[in-house]
Each structure stands twice: as C-alpha cells, then as structure tokens.
Structure 1
C-alpha cells in the first residue's frame, strides 16, 4: 500500500443529514439484512443436515449461500452505521477491505452460477454420463476454481488501487467500490484500467458466454424429448435462470451507474445498492427453497422431525 494514503479519511456524500427518517430506513434494512442472513444460514443448514442433498447441484448452492452472506455483510452493516452516525466516514484501509469483499462477492457469484449452469447442462444433456463427469474430485476442483480465482484476482486489483495517490476524499456512493476509489486518484493509471477490463472479460463476459451456451444446448436437447422431460428440465433450470438473470441485471445496472456520468433521479443510488447487495442474497435461498422440490421436502422433513422431537418432551 502507498504509505501516503495511511490515516486518510474518506467521506460518503450520498447520505442525507441525520433525521428521524433515517431510523425508519435503518429498521427496514436491519430486518431485511437479518432475513437474508437467516434465509442463507437456514438453506445451508438444510443442505448440510440432509444427506440426500449431498450432490453437486446442492453443494454449489451451499457455496452460493456463503457468497450471499459475504455480499450482504460487506455492505449493509456499514450502511446501517452511516444512517445513525453524525458523520459518514471511513478510513482508506476499511474502504479497500470493503472493495475487496464486494468484488469477491460479485465475481464469486458469477463463477458459482456458471458452474451451476454447467452442472445443469451435464445433468440434462448427458444424464447417463453425469456421475462419471461430476465426480467428487471434479466438484472439488470446480469449487477450488470458483473460490480461488476471484479472491486471487481481486487481491491484485485492490493492491493496484491501494497504490494510487489520492487528491479527493469524498465518495458519491453509499459504500466503497473500486471505481469510486480509483476516481479519487490524482493520476490516470492505464494498468488499473486494463486490469479492470481483464476482470470484466474473464470473470463476467466469459461466465456469461458459458451460461448462455449451456442453456442453448439444454434447449436444443429438451426440444427433442418428451413433454414430461421438458417439464422436469424447466423445473430444475428455472431457479438458476431467475437468480442468474436477476444478478446479471443488478451487476449491469451497477456498472452503468459507475461508468456513465449523468445525474440520476433521487433514490437511484439506494435502489441500485439494494438490487446489487441485498436482493440477490435474499432472493436466492427463497427461490431455491420454493422452486426445488427436493429442498422443500427436506425442509418439511427436518421441521417435522424437530416438532416430533420437541413434542416428545411435553408432559
């Protein structure tokens, strides 16, 4: 890190002056955040406890839930703190840590959703070969890639950003993101811009291409099968499509907002923050819990078992 940036304080300018409405927004965000944490932990617990869910699809879903916890926890506790603070400030080091975890969340979600699409492709297009392709070793390798690549690549990005000299100290966002910090610099770094472009190509465009290709192949194969097989394929792919499309739109809106200079309507910043960092982690476990029959059955089984267990202690 550039030693000249130590002890620098950055100020968020998108927060209104402290007033009573802040308590309303704090309460709303607090309960939404708690619901998101509970939903993801509960989904992880169901997958962990139910041995019938110890399959590649649900293992990837378990990791998606962890990713959602990282994303929401990287953003909303600080936003809630700012809502109740007289000064909305953060240290440069804390800002970089937030940038790191937000970018790990964003790129990690894309990576996990990509391997989930690949898993669905193998399951539907090559059902007889599924168990020979998606072996435990293969699953571990895929998990290593989707976790190691985002962390290592984003670490380099944050390191490059940390070495930029700063001339401005105000961030026009509700939270720190890499481009907002880069825009505070006194100089224009081609290396930082080029590396950011490489990240978009490798961790956004390439996964998007793989997902689209997987679903094109799934569609072509499904058209040749029976109505019952098509219905089954649709039921297993719908949750993934909903989560992938929602997260893609959230990421796209966020990138456009960061890179296109215009005067957005009031509340745009809040909406984009919600759409990017709160709604996906909340939506994913709810969609999968509702849409996937195996998870619904497992939830019912666990709840019924616990109710019977609790009832056995009643006198």
Structure 2
C-alpha cells in the first residue's frame, strides 16, 4: 500500500489510542430507521437484494475488465476504481445495517463506529475524485484525441487514482480525530442506520462547533470545486461535439459521456440531500432522511455497473460472451 494512505490509517489509529474518554466497554446503539422500527424487518429484504446486486455487479465489472485485454484502457481503469470504491462503501455499512434490521444487533463499539465513519466519508470523497478524473478522461478523449494516449499513461492513471484516495483520507482523518477528542455522555443512541459524522457528533456533551464548521466547509468546498471541474469539462466537450460535422459522430460522443453523466447525477443528488438535511433539514421527517442516507450508499453502487454495462458496448459484449460460453459448456 502506498505511503500516504498508510500514514492516514496510522493517524486514525493514533486518534483512537489517544481518545481519553472511552474504554473497551464504550459502545453506541444504532436505531436503524427512526419511526419505522416495526417495518425494518421487511425493509431489509429489498436492501439485501440491492446489496447483493451491487456486490455481484461490481465484482463482475472488475473481473471483466481484468480478464479482457481490449478493456485495458484509461476509461475502464477509472471504472475499475469506481467499482472498487463502491464495494468498500457498501460492505462497510450494509452488513451491519442488515444485522440491525433482522437480528436487532444495534450495538457497535466505539472503535468500530469510528472506523465505519472513516471509511464511509473517506471513500465517498474518493468517489467524487474518481468522477472528476473520469470527466477529465472524457474531455481528453473527445477534445484532445491525438494526445489522449500520451497524457493518460499507466503511471498517470495510477497517480490520479491514488490522488483521489489520498484526498479522501486527508480530508476525513482530521474530522475523525476531532470526533475522538469529544466527550460522550448520556444515552449513546445514534438515530441513524450507521455511524454518520453529524449523528455521532450530536451525542457529544462538549462544544461541537468546530466539528460542524469543518464538516460543512470541507464538504461544501470539495463538492463545489469538483462540480466546477466536471461542469467545465462537459462545457468544453459540448462545444467540441456541437462543432462536429457528422451527426453519427455527435451521437457517439454524447453516448460516450451519457453513462458518466448518469453516474454523477446518481451519486451527487442523494448525497447532497442527505448531508444538508442532516445539518439544516429539521422540517424533513427523520425516517425520510435516514432512508435517503441508506439508499445513497446502496443505489449508486447497484446501478453503476448496470449503467456502464448497458451503455458501454465493449463491456456489454464481453459479459454476454462470458454468459454464452458458460451456457454452451453447461449444455455440452
């Protein structure tokens, strides 16, 4: 593992070890979905189905790209990064969520809660970074096709992917350390399905203004800067595509970008709703907010492989050929 992510994980470990107010017996209780406790058993079934589809879809995507040399291109390497991040996001939350819904396993120890919060927020941030690099990839492919291969070399792709992960760790590590420095008193009851930052901070009995300010500013600056970069990339792409003389070429260019735009909308919309509702959405029913927060970590990872699988011809053909070969082998 590269040095920067390792140093961030070591910093997280030091934060946990330096926390003065917890012991091995300290734990929190996750409610699940406040107001829908009686329905959680049945809600778990569609959640489990979506989790299974997300894991199956993203693993299939990773295997197909790994096994097919024709897919060893920058666009598909970035897609592999997206799939790997989605697997981490879902697996860090959904198994515990299902255990709450089905087995009433509400308790989570302090270290587990902090670790879950760290992985959720750092890899969500990393996914935003990968979406930016994918927009850059589409810009180069359409606007600078002759320089595409020269710019996006193997080392450059690796550096861009590493930068996305390092940025996530660098932003979330201070946030996590601030959470471990707080004192927690009273009922350790988290009104959420997982250890989300503000839900945990609300349980602290000290001054939490620094946590709130840092969290809001970091999220706002990061989302705003990433959105601007993506918007600029697609404005340049749109200008280039409109200038194409061939209608077929224009449609092909729009089709190439369509999958990425769909993934961006799918990831940003529920994520922003969940974050800002946690801070200022007092008038929104709690169960609506928590359901949206849960689906934010489930629906994009489930649909991303389907969106790219349906809209990307090479991936679609490769998956169909693998299924066809297996069917022939089973019949013979």
When normalised by structure 2's length, the TM-score is: 0.87
The alignment covers a number of residue pairs equal to 311
Post-superposition Cα deviations, 1:99-149, rounded to whole Å, max 9, x if no partner, equal: 111102211111111100000001001111111111112111111101222
Q: Does the 8 Å contact 1:111/1:203 carry over to 2?
A: no
Cross-structure match for 1:121: 139
Cross-structure match for 1:161: 179
Cross-structure match for 2:20: 3
Cross-structure match for 1:232: 252
> Over aligned residue pairs, what C-alpha RMSD do you find?
2.0
Aligned equivalents of 1:86 and 1:127: distance in 2? 55
Aligned equivalents of 1:57 and 1:192: distance in 2? 37
Post-superposition Cα deviations, 1:179-229, rounded to whole Å, max 9, x if no partner, equal: 111222222245434432453255322111110110011011111112122
- Higher mean alpha-carbon deviation, 77-86 vs 114-123, is at 77-86
Cross-structure match for 1:259: 279
Aligned equivalents of 1:18 and 1:217: distance in 2? 49
Structure 2, unaligned stretches of length 5 or more? Answer: 1-15
Superposed counterparts of 1:113-152, under 5 Å: 113-152=131-170
Cross-structure match for 1:288: 308
Cross-structure match for 2:202: 183
Does 2:270 correspond to 1:250?
yes
Structure 1 SS opposite 2:92: helix
Cross-structure match for 1:96: 114
Cross-structure match for 2:80: 62
Does 2:60 correspond to 1:49?
no
Aligned equivalents of 1:140 and 1:52: distance in 2? 19
Q: Does the 8 Å contact 2:175/2:215 carry over to 1?
A: yes
1:75 and 1:87, CA in 2 relative to 1: closer, same or farther beyond 3 A?
Answer: closer
Does 2:227 correspond to 1:203?
no
Structure 1, unaligned stretches of length 5 or more? Answer: none
Q: Does the 8 Å contact 2:175/2:211 carry over to 1?
A: yes
Q: Does the 8 Å contact 2:271/2:293 carry over to 1?
A: no
